[in-house]
């Protein structure tokens, strides 16, 4: 068996935070997951924002 390093910083992993070396690296990995989740392509265009823009334009004219 070979000891694999922490996937975040490549330091030797810790038993308590396997597969990471520390709580910091574990949190960093979690944060990456969340960021990728929020960055889904479908989230870029907000249909409600477009509807609101149209309503404002109609009211102004």
Positions in the binding site for Zn ion (CB under 5 A): 6, 8-9, 11, 21, 25
Helix (H) or strand (E) holding 56: helix 47-60
Task: Give the residue with the Cβ less far from Zn ion, 9 or 51.
Answer: 9
Least separation in angstroms between CB 2 and Zn ion:
17
Task: Give the residue with the Cβ less far from Zn ion, 10 or 52.
Answer: 10
**What b/e sequence results for 35-55 when a residue is b if at least 16 CB atoms lie within 10 Å of its CB, and e otherwise?**
eeeeeeeeeeeeeeeeeeeee
Least separation in angstroms between CB 20 and Zn ion:
5
């Amino acid at each position: 068996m070979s000891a694999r390093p922490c996937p975040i910083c490549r330091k030797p992993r810790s038993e308590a935070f396997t597969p990471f070396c520390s709580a910091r690296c574990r949190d960093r990995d979690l944060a990456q997951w969340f960021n990728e989740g929020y960055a889904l392509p479908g989230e870029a265009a907000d249909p409600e924002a477009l509807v609101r823009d149209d309503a404002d334009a109609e009211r102004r004219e």
